[in-house]
Protein backbone atom coordinates (compact mmCIF):
# COMPACT_ATOMS: atom_id res chain seq x y z
CA UNK A 1 0.00 0.00 0.00
CA UNK A 2 1.05 3.55 -0.63
CA UNK A 3 1.01 4.52 3.05
CA UNK A 4 3.57 1.89 3.98
CA UNK A 5 5.69 2.88 0.99
CA UNK A 6 5.92 6.39 2.39
CA UNK A 7 6.56 5.07 5.85
CA UNK A 8 10.14 3.81 5.51
CA UNK A 9 11.53 6.84 3.65
CA UNK A 10 9.94 8.96 6.39
CA UNK A 11 11.62 6.96 9.18
CA UNK A 12 14.88 6.90 7.25
CA UNK A 13 15.03 10.64 6.63
CA UNK A 14 14.00 11.34 10.22
CA UNK A 15 16.83 9.22 11.60
CA UNK A 16 19.27 10.77 9.14
CA UNK A 17 18.21 14.29 10.13
CA UNK A 18 18.58 13.42 13.79
CA UNK A 19 22.00 11.82 13.31
CA UNK A 20 23.41 14.72 11.27
CA UNK A 21 22.31 17.34 13.79
CA UNK A 22 23.43 15.25 16.76
CA UNK A 23 26.83 14.86 15.08
CA UNK A 24 27.09 18.59 14.43
CA UNK A 25 26.21 19.31 18.05
CA UNK A 26 28.70 16.83 19.48
CA UNK A 27 31.44 18.11 17.15
CA UNK A 28 30.73 21.61 18.41
CA UNK A 29 29.84 23.04 14.99
CA UNK A 30 26.35 23.86 16.22
CA UNK A 31 26.83 25.82 19.42
CA UNK A 32 24.35 26.22 22.26
CA UNK A 33 22.61 29.08 20.50
CA UNK A 34 21.74 27.01 17.46
CA UNK A 35 20.89 23.82 19.30
CA UNK A 36 18.59 25.90 21.47
CA UNK A 37 16.84 27.24 18.41
CA UNK A 38 16.39 23.68 17.18
CA UNK A 39 14.91 22.57 20.50
CA UNK A 40 12.63 25.58 20.62
CA UNK A 41 11.59 24.89 17.03
CA UNK A 42 10.77 21.25 17.87
CA UNK A 43 8.61 22.34 20.81
CA UNK A 44 6.76 24.79 18.60
CA UNK A 45 6.25 22.18 15.91
CA UNK A 46 4.80 19.75 18.46
CA UNK A 47 2.39 22.48 19.58
CA UNK A 48 1.46 23.43 16.02
CA UNK A 49 0.93 19.85 14.87
CA UNK A 50 -1.20 18.98 17.90
CA UNK A 51 -3.36 22.06 17.36
CA UNK A 52 -3.53 21.19 13.65
CA UNK A 53 -5.31 17.96 14.62
CA UNK A 54 -7.95 19.94 16.54
CA UNK A 55 -8.44 22.90 14.19
CA UNK A 56 -7.17 21.76 10.80
CA UNK A 57 -8.46 18.19 10.79
CA UNK A 58 -11.47 18.18 13.08
CA UNK A 59 -12.41 21.81 12.49
CA UNK A 60 -12.89 22.71 16.16
CA UNK A 61 -11.70 26.23 16.72
CA UNK A 62 -9.78 26.08 20.01
CA UNK A 63 -7.99 29.02 21.59
CA UNK A 64 -6.98 27.09 24.70
CA UNK A 65 -3.82 25.35 23.60
CA UNK A 66 -1.61 27.38 25.96
CA UNK A 67 -3.72 25.97 28.79
CA UNK A 68 -2.66 22.41 27.96
CA UNK A 69 0.91 23.61 27.52
CA UNK A 70 0.75 25.09 31.03
CA UNK A 71 -0.65 21.90 32.53
CA UNK A 72 2.17 19.92 30.92
CA UNK A 73 4.83 22.39 32.01
CA UNK A 74 3.75 22.56 35.65
CA UNK A 75 2.99 18.86 36.07
CA UNK A 76 6.37 17.87 34.62
CA UNK A 77 8.15 20.45 36.78
CA UNK A 78 6.45 19.07 39.89
CA UNK A 79 7.40 15.53 38.89
CA UNK A 80 11.10 16.26 38.39
CA UNK A 81 11.68 19.04 40.92
CA UNK A 82 9.42 18.04 43.82
CA UNK A 83 9.10 14.28 43.39
CA UNK A 84 12.61 13.71 41.99
CA UNK A 85 11.42 11.33 39.30
CA UNK A 86 13.26 10.95 35.96
CA UNK A 87 12.53 13.30 33.06
CA UNK A 88 10.89 10.72 30.71
CA UNK A 89 8.35 9.94 33.45
CA UNK A 90 7.67 13.65 33.74
CA UNK A 91 7.07 13.95 29.98
CA UNK A 92 4.63 11.06 30.03
CA UNK A 93 2.76 12.31 33.11
CA UNK A 94 2.60 15.81 31.63
CA UNK A 95 0.92 14.35 28.54
CA UNK A 96 -1.52 12.28 30.57
CA UNK A 97 -2.55 15.14 32.85
CA UNK A 98 -2.99 17.45 29.87
CA UNK A 99 -5.20 14.79 28.25
CA UNK A 100 -7.34 14.70 31.39
CA UNK A 101 -7.57 18.49 31.27
CA UNK A 102 -8.52 18.16 27.59
CA UNK A 103 -11.33 15.75 28.48
CA UNK A 104 -12.60 18.00 31.28
CA UNK A 105 -12.79 20.96 28.89
CA UNK A 106 -13.73 19.03 25.79
CA UNK A 107 -16.69 17.00 26.97
CA UNK A 108 -18.86 19.95 28.01
CA UNK A 109 -17.59 22.60 25.58
CA UNK A 110 -17.43 20.62 22.32
CA UNK A 111 -21.21 20.87 22.09
CA UNK A 112 -20.53 24.48 21.18
CA UNK A 113 -19.57 25.49 17.67
CA UNK A 114 -17.26 27.97 16.01
CA UNK A 115 -16.86 31.25 17.86
CA UNK A 116 -18.57 29.95 20.98
CA UNK A 117 -16.14 27.07 21.32
CA UNK A 118 -13.24 29.49 20.81
CA UNK A 119 -14.48 31.69 23.66
CA UNK A 120 -15.06 28.70 25.95
CA UNK A 121 -11.58 27.26 25.37
CA UNK A 122 -10.05 30.72 25.79
CA UNK A 123 -11.79 31.00 29.14
CA UNK A 124 -10.53 27.58 30.13
CA UNK A 125 -6.91 28.47 29.36
CA UNK A 126 -7.21 31.59 31.49
CA UNK A 127 -8.66 29.56 34.37
CA UNK A 128 -5.67 27.21 34.27
CA UNK A 129 -3.23 30.10 34.24
CA UNK A 130 -4.93 31.75 37.20
CA UNK A 131 -5.04 28.49 39.16
CA UNK A 132 -1.25 28.14 38.81
CA UNK A 133 -0.85 31.81 39.65
CA UNK A 134 -2.57 31.23 42.98
CA UNK A 135 -0.91 27.99 44.07
CA UNK A 136 2.08 28.72 46.30
CA UNK A 137 3.30 25.14 45.92
CA UNK A 138 4.36 25.95 42.35
CA UNK A 139 5.67 29.40 43.15
CA UNK A 140 2.68 31.58 42.32
CA UNK A 141 3.45 34.65 40.22
CA UNK A 142 7.19 34.39 40.86
CA UNK A 143 7.22 31.10 39.00
CA UNK A 144 9.01 27.83 39.55
CA UNK A 145 12.67 27.04 39.03
CA UNK A 146 13.27 24.05 36.79
CA UNK A 147 16.56 22.33 36.00
CA UNK A 148 17.55 22.35 32.34
CA UNK A 149 17.02 18.78 31.13
CA UNK A 150 15.66 19.11 27.61
CA UNK A 151 18.24 17.99 25.08
CA UNK A 152 18.08 17.75 21.31
CA UNK A 153 17.52 14.00 21.67
CA UNK A 154 14.47 14.41 23.93
CA UNK A 155 13.04 17.13 21.73
CA UNK A 156 13.58 15.13 18.57
CA UNK A 157 12.10 11.88 19.90
CA UNK A 158 8.99 13.70 21.15
CA UNK A 159 8.63 15.54 17.85
CA UNK A 160 9.02 12.31 15.88
CA UNK A 161 6.42 10.46 17.98
CA UNK A 162 3.99 13.38 17.73
CA UNK A 163 4.15 13.54 13.95
CA UNK A 164 4.00 9.77 13.57
CA UNK A 165 0.93 9.41 15.82
CA UNK A 166 -0.94 12.31 14.26
CA UNK A 167 -0.17 11.27 10.67
CA UNK A 168 -1.19 7.68 11.41
CA UNK A 169 -4.35 8.82 13.14
CA UNK A 170 -5.27 11.16 10.29
CA UNK A 171 -4.71 8.52 7.60
CA UNK A 172 -7.16 6.03 9.02
CA UNK A 173 -10.91 5.64 9.32
CA UNK A 174 -10.73 7.65 12.53
CA UNK A 175 -8.98 10.57 10.85
CA UNK A 176 -11.51 10.47 8.03
CA UNK A 177 -14.28 10.59 10.61
CA UNK A 178 -12.67 13.74 12.07
CA UNK A 179 -12.39 15.33 8.63
CA UNK A 180 -16.02 14.50 7.92
CA UNK A 181 -16.96 16.38 11.10
CA UNK A 182 -15.01 19.37 9.81
CA UNK A 183 -16.54 19.16 6.35
CA UNK A 184 -20.18 18.72 7.31
CA UNK A 185 -21.15 17.81 10.81
CA UNK A 186 -24.80 17.11 10.02
CA UNK A 187 -23.91 14.73 7.20
CA UNK A 188 -21.24 13.03 9.32
CA UNK A 189 -23.84 12.44 12.01
CA UNK A 190 -26.29 11.08 9.42
CA UNK A 191 -23.62 8.65 8.16
CA UNK A 192 -23.31 7.03 11.56
CA UNK A 193 -20.28 8.95 12.88
CA UNK A 194 -20.39 9.71 16.59
CA UNK A 195 -19.32 13.30 16.11
CA UNK A 196 -18.95 14.15 19.81
CA UNK A 197 -16.71 11.14 20.35
CA UNK A 198 -14.35 12.14 17.55
CA UNK A 199 -14.25 15.77 18.57
CA UNK A 200 -13.34 14.78 22.12
CA UNK A 201 -10.84 12.23 20.78
CA UNK A 202 -9.07 14.84 18.64
CA UNK A 203 -9.09 17.23 21.57
CA UNK A 204 -7.61 14.62 23.89
CA UNK A 205 -4.82 13.61 21.49
CA UNK A 206 -4.04 17.27 20.77
CA UNK A 207 -3.95 18.04 24.49
CA UNK A 208 -1.65 15.08 25.16
CA UNK A 209 1.02 16.36 22.82
CA UNK A 210 0.59 19.94 24.01
CA UNK A 211 1.32 18.55 27.49
CA UNK A 212 4.42 16.79 26.16
CA UNK A 213 5.52 20.07 24.61
CA UNK A 214 4.91 21.70 27.99
CA UNK A 215 7.30 19.28 29.68
CA UNK A 216 10.03 20.05 27.13
CA UNK A 217 9.30 23.76 27.41
CA UNK A 218 9.53 23.81 31.23
CA UNK A 219 12.86 21.97 31.25
CA UNK A 220 14.35 24.18 28.57
CA UNK A 221 13.93 27.61 30.17
CA UNK A 222 15.10 27.22 33.78
CA UNK A 223 11.98 28.95 35.06
CA UNK A 224 8.27 28.79 34.31
CA UNK A 225 5.83 31.52 35.19
CA UNK A 226 2.06 31.69 34.67
CA UNK A 227 2.49 34.71 32.43
CA UNK A 228 4.27 32.54 29.83
CA UNK A 229 1.01 30.69 29.20
CA UNK A 230 -1.37 33.55 28.55
CA UNK A 231 -3.75 34.20 25.73
CA UNK A 232 -0.97 35.41 23.43
CA UNK A 233 0.78 32.03 23.58
CA UNK A 234 -2.40 30.36 22.27
CA UNK A 235 -2.52 32.91 19.48
CA UNK A 236 1.13 32.23 18.61
CA UNK A 237 0.35 28.55 18.11
CA UNK A 238 -2.80 29.36 16.19
CA UNK A 239 -0.78 31.57 13.84
CA UNK A 240 1.55 28.66 12.96
CA UNK A 241 -1.43 26.51 12.02
CA UNK A 242 -3.33 29.14 10.05
CA UNK A 243 -0.24 30.44 8.27
CA UNK A 244 0.73 26.92 7.21
CA UNK A 245 -2.72 26.29 5.77
CA UNK A 246 -5.63 24.86 7.75
CA UNK A 247 -5.69 21.10 7.25
CA UNK A 248 -2.07 20.75 6.14
CA UNK A 249 0.32 19.12 8.60
CA UNK A 250 3.41 19.85 6.55
CA UNK A 251 2.17 23.41 6.17
CA UNK A 252 2.03 23.79 9.95
CA UNK A 253 5.60 22.45 10.20
CA UNK A 254 6.93 24.76 7.48
CA UNK A 255 5.21 27.80 8.96
CA UNK A 256 6.50 27.01 12.45
CA UNK A 257 10.08 26.62 11.21
CA UNK A 258 9.84 29.86 9.25
CA UNK A 259 8.29 31.93 12.03
CA UNK A 260 10.59 30.54 14.71
CA UNK A 261 13.61 31.53 12.62
CA UNK A 262 12.16 34.98 11.88
CA UNK A 263 11.32 35.69 15.50
CA UNK A 264 14.69 34.38 16.76
CA UNK A 265 16.78 36.54 14.47
CA UNK A 266 14.60 39.53 15.14
CA UNK A 267 15.51 39.33 18.82
CA UNK A 268 18.51 41.54 18.04
CA UNK A 269 16.11 44.34 17.03
CA UNK A 270 13.65 44.45 19.92
CA UNK A 271 12.15 47.80 18.86
CA UNK A 272 11.05 46.64 15.42
CA UNK A 273 10.64 42.94 16.16
CA UNK A 274 6.88 42.74 16.47
CA UNK A 275 6.36 45.12 13.55
CA UNK A 276 8.41 42.98 11.17
CA UNK A 277 6.90 39.77 12.52
CA UNK A 278 3.40 41.12 11.93
CA UNK A 279 4.37 42.33 8.47
CA UNK A 280 5.53 38.82 7.58
CA UNK A 281 2.14 37.49 8.66
CA UNK A 282 0.23 40.09 6.68
CA UNK A 283 2.29 39.56 3.54
CA UNK A 284 1.94 35.78 3.66
CA UNK A 285 -1.81 36.00 4.18
CA UNK A 286 -2.17 38.49 1.32
CA UNK A 287 -0.29 36.35 -1.16
CA UNK A 288 -1.31 32.93 0.15
CA UNK A 289 -4.79 33.49 1.59
CA UNK A 290 -5.24 29.76 2.20
CA UNK A 291 -1.95 29.54 4.06
CA UNK A 292 1.46 28.54 2.77
CA UNK A 293 0.37 25.05 1.72
CA UNK A 294 -3.42 25.33 1.49
CA UNK A 295 -4.74 21.89 2.34
CA UNK A 296 -1.93 20.17 0.42
CA UNK A 297 0.78 18.07 2.03
CA UNK A 298 4.40 17.90 0.90
CA UNK A 299 3.76 14.41 -0.44
CA UNK A 300 0.99 15.82 -2.67
CA UNK A 301 3.55 18.09 -4.29
CA UNK A 302 5.79 15.08 -4.96
CA UNK A 303 2.86 13.30 -6.56
CA UNK A 304 2.02 16.33 -8.71
CA UNK A 305 5.63 16.66 -9.77
CA UNK A 306 5.85 12.99 -10.65
CA UNK A 307 2.65 13.02 -12.72
CA UNK A 308 3.81 16.21 -14.44
CA UNK A 309 7.10 14.54 -15.32
CA UNK A 310 5.18 11.47 -16.50
CA UNK A 311 2.98 13.59 -18.79
CA UNK A 312 6.02 15.24 -20.29
CA UNK A 313 7.58 11.90 -21.13
CA UNK A 314 4.34 10.65 -22.67
CA UNK A 315 4.21 13.81 -24.75
CA UNK A 316 7.57 13.09 -26.37
Partner 1 sequence: MVNDPLLQVKGVGIQFGGLKAVSNFNLKINQGELIGLIGPNGAGKTTSFNLLTGVYAPTEGEILFDGKRINGLPPFKVTQRGISRTFQNIRLFNELSVIDNVKVAYHSLAKHSVLSSILRLPSHFSGEKEMEKKAMEFLKIFELDKYKDEDAKNLPYGKQRRLEIARALAAAPRLLLLDEPAAGMNPQETKDLMELIAFVRKEFNLSILLIEHDMNLVMGICERIYVLDHGVLLAEGTPEEIRNNPKVIEAYLGEEVHDEHA
Q: Which residues pair with 224 in a beta bridge?
A: 144
Of 26, 10, 17, 71, which is closest to residue 210 (Cα–Cα)?
Answer: 71
Shortest Cβ distance from residue 58 to partner 1 (Å)?
13
Identity of the residue, 195 or 263, whose beta carbon is nearer to partner 1 in the bound complex: 195
Distance of CA 152 to the CA centre of its chain: 17
Buried b (16+ CB within 10 A) or exposed e, 140-161: eeebbebeebbbbebbbebbbe
Shortest Cβ distance from residue 228 to partner 1 (Å)?
30
Shortest Cβ distance from residue 171 to partner 1 (Å)?
8
Are 57 and 112 within 8 A, CB to CB? no
Buried b (16+ CB within 10 A) or exposed e, 24-33: bbeeeebeee
Residue partners of 238: CB distance under 8 A and separation at least 6: 51, 55, 63, 65
Shortest Cβ distance from residue 172 to partner 1 (Å)?
4
Shortest Cβ distance from residue 165 to partner 1 (Å)?
5
Identity of the residue, 146 or 200, whose beta carbon is nearer to partner 1 in the bound complex: 200
Q: Which residues pair with 223 in a beta bridge?
A: 145
Shortest Cβ distance from residue 117 to partner 1 (Å)?
19
Identity of the residue, 269 or 301, whose beta carbon is nearer to partner 1 in the bound complex: 301
Shortest Cβ distance from residue 60 to partner 1 (Å)?
16
Shortest Cβ distance from residue 89 to partner 1 (Å)?
21
Identity of the residue, 18 or 169, whose beta carbon is nearer to partner 1 in the bound complex: 169
Q: What separation in angstroms does the CA of 103 have from each of 50, 56, 83, 121?
A: 15, 19, 25, 12
Alpha carbons 267 and 277: distance in angstroms, whole number: 11
Q: Which residues pair with 145 in a beta bridge?
A: 223
Of 283, 228, 239, which is closest to residue 69 (Cα–Cα)?
Answer: 228
Identity of the residue, 1 or 282, whose beta carbon is nearer to partner 1 in the bound complex: 1
Identity of the residue, 201 or 218, whose beta carbon is nearer to partner 1 in the bound complex: 201
Identity of the residue, 188 or 238, whose beta carbon is nearer to partner 1 in the bound complex: 188
Q: Phi, psi at residue 59, to the nearest 5°?
A: 75, 25
Alpha carbons 98 and 117: distance in angstroms, whole number: 18
Identity of the residue, 4 or 267, whose beta carbon is nearer to partner 1 in the bound complex: 4
Residues that bind partner 1 (CB under 8 A): 1, 4, 7, 165, 168-169, 172-177, 179-180, 182-184, 186-195, 201, 247, 295
Amino acid sequence: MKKSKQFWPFIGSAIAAYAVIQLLISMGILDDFYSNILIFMSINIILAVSLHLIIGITGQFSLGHAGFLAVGAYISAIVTMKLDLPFPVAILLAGIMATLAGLVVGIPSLRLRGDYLAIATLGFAEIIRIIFLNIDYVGGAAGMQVTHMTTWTYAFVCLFVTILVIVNFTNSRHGRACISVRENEIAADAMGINTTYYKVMAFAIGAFFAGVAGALYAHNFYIIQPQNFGFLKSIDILVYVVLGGLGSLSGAVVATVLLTIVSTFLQDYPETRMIIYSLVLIIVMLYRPKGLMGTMEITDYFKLWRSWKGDKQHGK
